[in-house]
Structure 1
Amino acid sequence: MFLQTEGDELIETLKWVKENLAAKVEELANVIITCYKNGGKVILMGNGGSAGDAQHIAAEFVGRYKLERGSFPALALNTNTSTITAVGNDYSYDDVFSRQVEGFAQKDDVVIGISTSGNSKNVYKALESAKKKGCYTAAFLGKDGGTIKNIVDLDLTVKSNNTPRVQECHIFMAHSMCDLVDRALYDFVHGKKN
């Protein structure tokens, strides 16, 4: 019974995402496609489970999603423990991502924050830094989108207070985005599209 209840809730949340956020997922995919065609990169970050999602998405771009193709530049800022602990110790945990954005991001890169609450201060500060550098900013969020919703170019807010459902929908949207990017750039590289 427990699994059925959880499954039913997930299905309902995914239906809501499909009806309300599909166009935004496609919009983000198109921005990333343009970024990659112009030699840019994707930078991601999050805390806890969202950190795992940031790594997962970066791996789909650097490795491959489904198609055999070249590597796309993407990095998750939560993977370098030496940088995170140094910045956290010398500055503040709120600065662990923004300092890295200052060092790695370039104009027209795509910077994506992931926060199930929408209020992760370190993600907020990193996205603020990214905007100052001229990057396109997006965020996978939950609940009402929190403070982060108000500062990004594109928010993908799953309107749910249930963190596991939000995270499941985040990775569903991310996989959909990766698939769109994969297919478009595969065709571009192989001369099938302009």
Structure 2
Amino acid sequence: MWNKHTQKLQNCLSSIEVDGAKCAASNCDEAFSLWKNLTEELREQGQIIYLIGNGASASMASHFSADLAKNAHVHTQVFTDLALLTALANDFSYDQVFVEPLKRRLTPNDMLVAISSSGNSPNVLNACRFAAETGATVVTLSAMSAQNNLRTMGDINFWLPAETYGMAETGHACILHYWMDSVSIPLNKDIS
């Protein structure tokens, strides 16, 4: 059973599809190289990477925000503070909980990383639209339906043919770890 499950995960990860405004029908290696280069440029300029998602994807956003700040020396921001989320949801609506803080902070030189298993979360889609209109780099991670809306909204879009949340979330964590490891600074090395 376990071997069958891990083989299914391997098949899912081997079947990632990548495309987007900056990497049309690209292969994974090219997409990761582009993402790495964009991240390193952003780091050199002192810009910010915003990470968003709901539920487990919000946990991943928070996790990788911390990892990127600590290991890659990148400025990061997540919107996982309960007081902020509930205030925005109450005063605007839940589909605006990411857009409203981005309106106050996002610049064209920043990056938004949007994580959504379904690829159809209205608050994530709205944030991606806003970030694209602002001129920021948008990277998306989605799964489930090949026709999900998030899959076509970014400069780089990673889509996994995962049918369950467990497989989607595990696959997204693999993608995020691979990216983060590629931009990490070795211990005791100062880049300033």
Could you state the TM-score of these two structures normalised by the residue count of structure 1?
A: 0.85
Aligned-CA RMSD value: 2.3
Alignment of 1:133-144 (within 5 A): 133-143=134-144, 144=146
Contact 2:99 2:126 in 1 (8 A): yes
Number of the residue aligned with 1:21? 28
Q: 1:188 Cα deviation (Å)?
A: 8.6
Q: Which amino acid aligns with 2:58?
A: A
- Contact 1:25-1:156 at 8 Å conserved across structures: no
SS of the aligned residue for 1:139 comes to strand
Q: Which amino acid in structure 1 is aligned with residue 30 of structure 2?
A: A
1:145 and 1:48 map into 2 onto residues whose CA distance is: 21
Instruction: Work out whether residues 25 and 173 of structure 1, in 8 Å CA contact, stay in contact via their aligned partners in 2.
Output: no
- Structure-1 residue corresponding to 2:61: 54
8 A Cα contact 1:117 1:145, kept in partner: no
Q: Give the percent of matched residue pairs that are identical in Structure 1 and Structure 2.
A: 23
Is there any run of 5+ residues in structure 1 with no aligned partner, and where? Answer: 66-70
Aligned match of 1:157 = 159
AA paired with 2:52? Answer: M
Query: What is aligned with 2:98?
Result: 97
Give the 3-state SS of the residue equivalent to 1:112 in structure 2.
strand
Secondary structure of residue in 1 paired with 2:15:
helix
What whole-Å deviation, never above 9, does each CA across 1:42-88 have from its counterpart, x for those lacking one?
Answer: 000000111111011101111226xxxxx3211122x1111110110
Distance in 1 of aligned mates of 2:168 and 2:98: 22
- Give 1:123's aligned residue: 124
TM-score (norm 2): 0.86
Extract unaligned runs of 5+ from structure 2. 19-26
Are 2:7 and 1:5 aligned? Answer: no
Q: Which residue of 2 aligns with 1:68?
A: none
Task: State which drifts further: 12-21 or 31-40.
Answer: 12-21
Give the aligned partner of residue 171 of structure 1. 173
Moved over 6 A (4+): none
The alignment partner of 1:107 has SS state of coil
CA gap of 1:161–1:32, structure 2 versus 1, over 3 A, is same
CA drift of 1:25 comes to: 2.2
Q: What is the CA–CA distance in structure 2 between the aligned matches of 1:24 and 1:36, rounded to whole Å?
A: 18
Higher helix fraction: Structure 1 or Structure 2?
1
Q: Find the partner of 2:47 among 31, 40, 46.
A: 40
| Structure 2 match to 1:82 | 83
Aligned residue pairs: how many?
Answer: 182
The offset of 1:179, in angstroms, is 1.4
